[in-house]
Amino acid sequence: MFLKDFLPEISLPSAALAFIAGIALCGWQACSISPFLAAALQMAATAIAVALILYLGKLRQQNLDMGREAVLKLRFYLSQGLLLLMFCLGFLQMGGASWPSEGGKRLPEGFFVAGTGFVEEVKALNTSAYSGPRYQMLLRLQSHTSSAGSAQADAKDFRLWERQRKILLTIHFGLGEEGEGGARDFEQRCIAGAQIRFAAVMKGEEAPRNPGEFDYAAYLRTKGVYCQGEAQGWDILLLREASTYRRFLADLRNNLNRQLAAYLSPKAGAIIRGCLLGDSSSMEREDREIYRQAGISHLFSVSGTHGSILLAAAFHLERFRFFRKRKALCRILALGLLFFYLSLTGYPLSMQRSFIMACMTQAAMGIRRKSDTRSALATAALLLLWFSPQSLFNAGFQLSFGVVLGIVHLYPWLRRRLPPLLALPLAAQFASLPIQAYWFYQIQPLGFLINLWAVSIMPPLLLLSGFSALAGLIHPATASLLWQAPGLLAEILDLVAGYWTALPFATYTIGEQPWPAYLIGGFILWLLPGWKEKEGALAQWIAQRHEQRQRRADWRQWQSWRLAKKRQRETGAGATGASGVGAGGADASVTSASGTGAGETDVWPEDPKRQKTDLLLEAWLRRRQIVLLGAALYLTVSILTPHTLEITFLDVGQGDGVFWVSPSGKTWMVDAGSSNVRHLGYYRLEPFLRSQGANHLDYVLISHADEDHISGIRDLLLAGWRLRYMVMAPQVAESKEGEALAALAEEKGTAVIRFSAGQQIYDGELVLRCLYPEEGKAVANTNATSIVAELRYKQFSLLLTGDIDADTEDWLLESLQETSMLKVAHHGSGGSSSTAFLEKVKPLASVISCSKNNLYGHPHPDTLARLQETGSRLYLTMDSGALRVTTRGKSFRISGFIQ
């Protein structure tokens, strides 16, 4: 019985929070610990905690007279100790899971290995005219060795490889009938749960090279994958087929996909496949972006919404007479249905959370206890993070748990002010705002409205799709008719999402913010419910703290007075006065009562200074004045601080792209294209622009119409980005490619401006002056049509040269002057940047935009030598990634995205 009286009461949410804090700290510091050492330390820490509890409990049993205050104090210290234990367990669990990375080291590209493993996930990749069928396979490794004859399998690399737990393989099949036949056989037999043997070559991990760019390697690490490989189809050997249950699930998914392809349009089929199975790979890229901007992309990743609909449908079985008195059986059937759906969809993390919470809730109901959503959520977080601590840094994990926690915290507060129909989606919307802003640089301020409608359409869409799929298994002719109802709902969902994203207030781009801003946003959301109660509790805590400080000050003053009187008596000083040191070091006068002799009685004086308020209480009492003063100070500093020009030379591979935000706030883009990066706009430009807080471009300058300068601009126009003005030279606008681009721009509402030598564009103190070409000048080739423009801001200047050659440079010599920075022409080719040209412009810094191992040999060694002879500092995007230039009009600073 002594343990019952002695053990601290630790809530599951507090334990989960401490565990998460340990994982977060370990991940932030990128710590890596041997799994065996981590497990040993965890067991040792747990054993020490248990031994300490038993020892203190034994002391409590032996000392039955221990007072209540002593027991409460021990409980407090023990509870803090247990929270510290959970923190250490989380830290060690993350360190052990991160061990394969070995402090950031990776297997070298080209490392050749072979092994066996179990298939966890397989999905088909898009094919092109130059490649046959391709698949992506996630393997949980069982055994692995270096392949015979591998020259790169040295001992150190292989020891690193031996600690890998998962590998992501991209499997290629050849062109023609042989490749397609092999792909079909592979797709039928190598399903989740199968055991295979493989031989693969390790593939290098491509790190993001521009701000805002998606870090695919970091995403894989959140799934426990630290290496990727390339394999050929004939190097994959099936050792053991998947279990009967796994094969049944695979056949069911394949049958569903065949029905969707046969009975519905491609768009409707893709939407229903995403809603039912969480597989959005068949959706068009533009459609996925529309749903994300509308704030309803969570519908196409299996989440708690799907689990709630299934559980609600299963619990309706209680209406039938057979289940009315068999509620336990009904609960078991509901959880069984939820587990089957979890298996069918491939065990997504959000559905695992829903399943664990459902089990906790039903268990509480089974033993007639009140279910606690916070405890169920904490249990789910502890279980999932114990087996996969890297998931904490996954956007899906944060959204799944964050939204549920936000609903639990905010919904009761909102329900007192709004109808329940609006309070629930609004609570979910508020909770997701900081997470969406962090990961996507955008928020949907009114997203709860479309979510209110979209979530209401999900139950009929899911249930009708399920009935139609079952009918397709029994009677295909009936299924053809039944599928039209969910197909119509899918078309309506797509139509409404398209109209919603076209509204100006649907999405707001906020850009990348310092990380404390997101924490402050979450803290404000936590404060909203019960603000007055929390304010009162804070005021009470401050008052108690102030009272304790006053008591300590009084005690120190009294002790000082006693010592002063003692010294007075010892030295035989007069009894009429003495001085002592009061609280806080202040002098306190000491007086005596009338009378002399041995019986005199002195009185401790009242010091007016001891009533002084401490700083914390003073700040609380003057909180409104301090907030207003801080806001005024912030505005004053913002106004008086000199405006800054920020220029970014983007890493677009083999191509060009320059972006800047002028001091007046206008956004500019000079070229954006690449000859070796596909879908440049979607994968690099759009994420970068969102990270800069730009939802449109004011000016787009096209130097010339080569593909490596305009492909990204075309992607932006097709994606619906608003470009106010497109600036072109007359010679570019009259070319075939330039005319097509100008026509597309005008179709999208962009005004096309002709820009030739002598013309200028003013943007506050910033001036863009065109130096070349002159209107009507005949040119020999496309590169010779390149606009040469000078950007000038106060004393800073940047010379933009497009792809001009040496002849054009000679023609320009008379109009050139010294410049602060030079965008080197034609990616640093040998035919540009002549000695005479460089001696005339004398750039302090030069930027070359090119990619590694490009086919053109850029930059040319002779060009680099000429630039170095002029004393210019060289910066290459292939080495530093995106280059950021900041200036206030005089000096400037350059920093690379890749340090």
Cα→Cα distances 882→442, 514, 695, 698, 706, Å: 22, 19, 20, 21, 21
pLDDT attached to residue 385: 95
Confidence of residue 579 (pLDDT cuts 50, 70, 90): very low
pLDDT attached to residue 506: 86
pLDDT in tens, 398-457: 999 999 999 999 999 999 888 888 898 899 999 999 999 999 999 988 888 898 898 889
pLDDT attached to residue 106: 61
pLDDT attached to residue 838: 95
Confidence of residue 587 (pLDDT cuts 50, 70, 90): very low
Judge whether residue 866 has pLDDT over 90. yes
Greatest mean pLDDT among 221-235, 585-599, 833-847: 833-847
> Among residues 134, 495, 457, 462, which one has the least CA distance to residue 273?
462
Confidence of residue 4 (pLDDT cuts 50, 70, 90): low
Number of CB atoms found within 10 A of residue 233's CB: 20
Confidence of residue 153 (pLDDT cuts 50, 70, 90): very low
Confidence of residue 117 (pLDDT cuts 50, 70, 90): very high
pLDDT attached to residue 591: 42
SS3 assignment, position 792: strand
Judge whether residue 150 has pLDDT over 50. no
Asked whether 590 and 561 are in contact (CB, 8 A), the reply is yes
Length, in residues, of the chain: 899
Residue-wise burial string across 633-668, b where 16 or more C-beta atoms lie within 10 A, e elsewhere: eeeeeeeeeeeebebbbbbbbbbbbbbbbbbeeebb
SS3 assignment, position 799: strand
CA dist., res. 728 & res. 785, Å (int) = 10
Strand partners, 699: 668, 725
C-alpha neighbours within 13 Å on the C-beta side of residue 448? 17
Report the pLDDT averaged over residues 823-848. Answer: 94
pLDDT attached to residue 578: 42
Long-range contacts, 58-66 (Cβ 8 Å, 24+): 58/2, 60/2, 60/5, 60/6, 61/2
pLDDT attached to residue 593: 40
pLDDT in tens, 265-311: 999 999 999 999 888 888 888 888 889 888 888 888 887 788 888 88
HEC letters along 310-323? HHHHHHHHHHCHHH
CA dist., res. 51 & res. 96, Å (int) = 25
Alpha-helical (H) ranges within 444-483 are: 447-474, 476-482
How do beta strands 696-702 and 667-674 pair? parallel
Percent of the chain with pLDDT over 70: 88
Single pTM value for the model: 0.86
pLDDT in tens, 449-499: 898 898 889 889 988 998 899 898 888 888 888 999 999 999 999 999 999
Q: Which amino acid is at 788?
A: V
